[in-house]
Chains A and B, each alone.
Chain A
Amino acid sequence: MKYVDEYRDRKMANKVAAEIHRAVTRPWAIMEVCGGQTHSIVKYGIDYLLPKEVELVHGPGCPVCVTPLEMIDRAHAIARQPDVIFCSFGDMLRVPGSHGDLFQVKAAGADVRIVYTPLDCLRIAAANTSKKVVFFAIGFETTAPANAMAVWQARAQRIRNFSVLVSQVLVPPAIAGILEAPENRVQAFLGPGHVCAVMGYREYEPIAPRYRTPIVITGFEPIDLLEGTLMAVRQLEQGRTEVENQYGRAVTPDGNVDAQRMIRRVFEVCDRAWRGIGVIPKSGYRLNDEFRDFDAERMFELGSIHAPEPAICISGQVLRGLKKPHDCPAFGRECTPQNPLGATMVSAEGACAAYYNYGRHLVKVPSAAGIS
C-alpha cells in the first residue's frame, strides 16, 4: 500500500537504525509526544532496533489517556439520562470512569453509539428530533477542526438537539510544562506529526531554543520514527536546538490554515485538567460564547462530580517521562488493560497499555497473567 509499505520496509529500517548507531556517542532521553507514535514504537518493536544509548520516553499525547476521570464520569452521567443518544469515538467506550465504562452504561439501557466522525452525529440528530444527541469531543488539535465543524454545521442547519461535551487539549503547553518541571529528563522531542499537519510548527519554534531542546516533527510509521530519532540524535550530538520537520509529506510550517480558522471560529483557549498531570494553564479549548448553546455541560445539570485517582498509580510521572510503566509496582498486577488503574493503561495508545500488550517479554513483569 502506497505511503505505508515503503515506511515499513525492513531493509530501510535497518539502514536508518545503523545510522543512529553510528551517530550516537552518549546516552540521550528522547520523548515521542503522541500516543500514536508510542503505539507504533512498541507495536513494531522499534526500541529493539535502537542503540542502548537512546532511550525513548513516552509522552502525554494520548487523548483518551489524558481525559480527566471527572470528565468521563460527566460523560457517563449524560449518557445515562433518558432521551439522550450519546456518541463517541470507539476507544472512549472502554475507558472506565469511577463506576464502569460506557459499554456498561449501554448495557444498562443507555443509547451509546460509536461514530467515525462527529458529523455523523448531525445525521443522527436530524433523524431523532425527540432525542438529545451528545458528542464526546475529546482529542488534541487533530480532532478539533472536525469537532468545530460539527458544531458550526449544527448551527448552520439549525439542529438544536445536538451538543458536545468538550475536552480538547493542546500539545505546546504540555511540552512547555514537561520542560519546566525541575525533575525533567527529556532532552529532545519527536513532535506530534498529525497535530502539526493541522497547526503547522510555528508554535514550536520559540520552545526549542528557549528550553535548549531539539524538536523533530515526526510521523507515525516505523521509518518515520527511526528517521525522527536519527535527526534528534544528530541535533543533540551537534549541540543544535532547532525545530526540524521529518514528516514533510504531511506537515508544512503553517499547517492547514482553513482548519485553524474553523477552530478559532468555534473554540477559545482555556485552562484544562489533564488526567495524571493536573491543570495546565491555557492548554485546551472550550466553545466560545457564540456557540455556548451547543455545550453539553450547560445543557445538562450535572452538579459537582469529583473523582479521585487511585493513589498507587504513577501515570502522571509516566506521562511526563519521569518513569517507565514497569517502574510501577501495580503494572501487570493490579493494573492491566482489563482493569486499568490510571490514565496510561486505559487506551491502546497509552504507554502502560502499549508496554503491557506488546513489550512484556522485554521487561521484567511480575505476573504472567493475561498471557495464557
Chain B
Amino acid sequence: MSTSFTLSCPLPVTRHKTIVLGHGSGGRLTAQLVRELFLPAFDNPALRKLDDQAVLNVAPGRIALTTDSYVVTPLFFPGGDIGRLAVNGTVNDLAMSGARPLYLTAAFIIEEGLTLEDLQRVTQSMSLSAAEAGVTIVTGDTKVVSRGCADKLFITTAGVGLVPDGISISASNGRAGDVVIVSGPVGDHGITIWSTREGIDFAGGLKSDTAPLHALMEAMIGAGDVHVLRDPTRGGLGTSLCEIAASSSVGIELDANAVPVREEVKAACEILGMDPLYVANEGRLVAMVAESSAERVLRAMRRVPQGRDACRIGRVVAEHAGMVLVKTEVGGSRILDVPFAEQLPRIC
C-alpha cells in the first residue's frame, strides 16, 4: 500500500463535556485528556516528557516515601476538595517524618460521566496545593471505569521527600517527660464533610482544615527537640495518641479541657453522640516534644499560620505504658481507646 491507512476517524477529536470510557482507553482521547487537562495543570520538565516514569535527580541522603488513596463524598466541600486533600495528605505524611516533600505522583480512577469541568477544578486545585507545598507532580496515570464502578473520582498520590541529616522523628520516639502538643482545634474536617454530605448546617463558617504542614514541621524542628509528629487524619487525635503510646511503649495523660475544639464541632458532636477526639483532621498535627524545648517549639508554631492555635494538651509518662488516660472535663479519669470502626450516630 503506498499511502498510510488508518482506521481512526479523520475528523478532529470532539470536545467532550463529560468523561467517557474512551478517555481511559490509552488512545487518542486519553492523549487529548493528558495534553489538554493534566499537562497544563501540573506542567514541569519531568512530566512534559510523557515517559512512563519520571527520572529525577535527588541529593544524597535518606528519602521518605509514602502513598495514600483519597475517596471523599462530596468531591468539593467548604475549605477544599479531593484534589487538595490528595496533595496535602501525602505532603503531610512525608512531613511527619521530618522530610522536606519534593515530588508527587498522581493516579486518577475516574467514573464515566464525571464532568470535565469538575475534573479540571480538581486538577487546578492540586496544582495550587502543590505550588503551596513546594512539590512537583512528576508522573501520573488515568483510568476510567464504568458508571457505578467508582464514586466519581478516586485519586492515589505517592510522594518522595528528603530527610535532613540528624533528624529522627517517629511514632516510636515518645519519651516519658515529653510534652504533648496539638497544632490547632480538632474535628473541623470530619464534621465539615459530614454536614456537607448530610445537608445539615451547624452554623456558618465551619470548613475543612486541609493544609500542608511542611512549613509548620520545619519551624518546629528548627526550634527544639521534636520526638514524634503525627497528622491525626482518619480516627482523629484519639487514635493517633493511642498508636503513639503503643509504638513508644509510654503512657500518655491527656487533659480533656486543654484539647481545642470549635463550638460548631462540639455542637455537631453533641447532637450526633460522637467524640471530637475521634473525628478526622486534614491539616493538624500532634507532637511529642522534650519538655526543655516545649515553649520554644510552641512559640515557633504560633508564628506559622497552620500552628497559630497550637497548645499543650498533655504529657508523656512512664506509667501505664501503651495506654492513654484522659483527665476528664470534671476531673475524673478514663481510658482513651482506639475505636472499633468509624463512629456512628447514637440513638439517644
Min CB–CB distance A222 → chain B (angstroms): 4
B-binding segment of A85-93, A124-132, A251-259 = A85-93
With the chains together, A93 CA to B257 CA distance in Å? Answer: 32
Min CB–CB distance B141 → chain A (angstroms): 28
Q: Mark B residues whose CB is within 8 Å of A.
A: 198, 200, 246, 257, 263, 266-267, 270, 273, 320, 322-323, 325-326, 328-335, 337-338, 340-341, 344-348
Given contacts A1-B270, A45-B326, A222-B330, 11 further A-B contacts (CB under 8 A): A10-B330, A36-B348, A49-B332, A64-B347, A89-B347, A90-B345, A142-B348, A226-B330, A357-B335, A361-B320, A361-B335
Is A308 an interface residue, CB under 8 A from the partner?
A: no
| Across-interface contacts of A47 in B (CB, < 8 A) | 332
Among B200, B267, B334, contact of A45 (Cβ-Cβ < 8 Å): B334
Is A114 an interface residue, CB under 8 A from the partner?
A: yes
30 interchain pairs, CB-CB under 8 A: A4-B266, A9-B329, A10-B330, A10-B331, A13-B330, A14-B331, A42-B334, A43-B334, A44-B332, A45-B326, A45-B330, A46-B332, A47-B332, A63-B347, A64-B347, A89-B347, A90-B344, A91-B347, A94-B344, A116-B198, A139-B348, A222-B328, A226-B330, A348-B346, A357-B335, A362-B333, A368-B322, A371-B246, A371-B337, A372-B322
Of A9, A91, A359, most buried by chain B (CB within 10 Å of CB) is A91
Is A72 an interface residue, CB under 8 A from the partner?
A: no
| Across-interface contacts of A142 in B (CB, < 8 A) | 348
| Across-interface contacts of B348 in A (CB, < 8 A) | 36, 63, 139-140, 142-143, 194
With the chains together, A42 CA to B275 CA distance in Å? Answer: 14
Q: A361-B325, A370-B337 are in contact. Are A349 and B332 (CB under 8 A)?
A: no
Min CB–CB distance B318 → chain A (angstroms): 15
| Across-interface contacts of B347 in A (CB, < 8 A) | 63-64, 89-92, 138-139, 143
| Across-interface contacts of A9 in B (CB, < 8 A) | 329-330
Min CB–CB distance A139 → chain B (angstroms): 6
Among A44, A360, A371, contact of B328 (Cβ-Cβ < 8 Å): A44
With the chains together, A362 CA to B335 CA distance in Å? Answer: 9
With the chains together, A92 CA to B344 CA distance in Å? Answer: 9
Among B326, B338, B345, B346, contact of A349 (Cβ-Cβ < 8 Å): B346
Among A48, A138, A357, contact of B332 (Cβ-Cβ < 8 Å): A48
Q: A42-B334, A116-B198, A361-B320 are in contact. Are A1 and B340 (CB under 8 A)?
A: no
| Across-interface contacts of B267 in A (CB, < 8 A) | 1
A361 near B345 with CB under 8 A, answer no
Is A358 an interface residue, CB under 8 A from the partner?
A: yes
A114 near B330 with CB under 8 A, answer no
B340 near A338 with CB under 8 A, answer yes
Among A114, A222, A361, contact of B323 (Cβ-Cβ < 8 Å): A361
With the chains together, A372 CA to B241 CA distance in Å? Answer: 11
| Across-interface contacts of A8 in B (CB, < 8 A) | 329-330
| Across-interface contacts of B329 in A (CB, < 8 A) | 8-10, 44, 222
| Across-interface contacts of B334 in A (CB, < 8 A) | 42-45, 358-359, 361
Is A178 an interface residue, CB under 8 A from the partner?
A: no
With the chains together, A368 CA to B97 CA distance in Å? Answer: 30
CB-nearest residue of chain B relative to A103?
B341
B270 near A4 with CB under 8 A, answer yes
Among B263, B335, B338, B344, contact of A359 (Cβ-Cβ < 8 Å): B335
State which residues 141-168 of A face B: CB under 8 Å.
142-143
Of A43, A114, A337, A368, most buried by chain B (CB within 10 Å of CB) is A43
| Across-interface contacts of A217 in B (CB, < 8 A) | none
With the chains together, A40 CA to B94 CA distance in Å? Answer: 38
| Across-interface contacts of A223 in B (CB, < 8 A) | 330
CB-nearest residue of chain B relative to A140?
B348
Min CB–CB distance A20 → chain B (angstroms): 13
Q: A48-B332, A358-B335 are in contact. Are A10 and B257 (CB under 8 A)?
A: yes
With the chains together, A357 CA to B346 CA distance in Å? Answer: 16
CB-nearest residue of chain B relative to A222?
B330
| Across-interface contacts of A139 in B (CB, < 8 A) | 347-348
| Across-interface contacts of B326 in A (CB, < 8 A) | 45
Q: A1-B267, A89-B347, A194-B348 are in contact. Are A371 and B322 (CB under 8 A)?
A: yes
Q: A1-B270, A42-B334 are in contact. Are A91 and B328 (CB under 8 A)?
A: no
Of B267, B270, B329, most buried by chain A (CB within 10 Å of CB) is B329
B335 near A360 with CB under 8 A, answer yes
CB-nearest residue of chain A relative to B348?
A142
State which residues 319-372 of A face B: CB under 8 Å.
337-338, 348-349, 357-362, 368, 370-372
| Across-interface contacts of A360 in B (CB, < 8 A) | 335
| Across-interface contacts of A371 in B (CB, < 8 A) | 246, 322-323, 337
| Across-interface contacts of A46 in B (CB, < 8 A) | 330, 332
Among B273, B322, B338, B341, contact of A94 (Cβ-Cβ < 8 Å): B341
With the chains together, A167 CA to B270 CA distance in Å? Answer: 25
Among B246, B270, B330, B333, contact of A361 (Cβ-Cβ < 8 Å): B333
| Across-interface contacts of B338 in A (CB, < 8 A) | 370
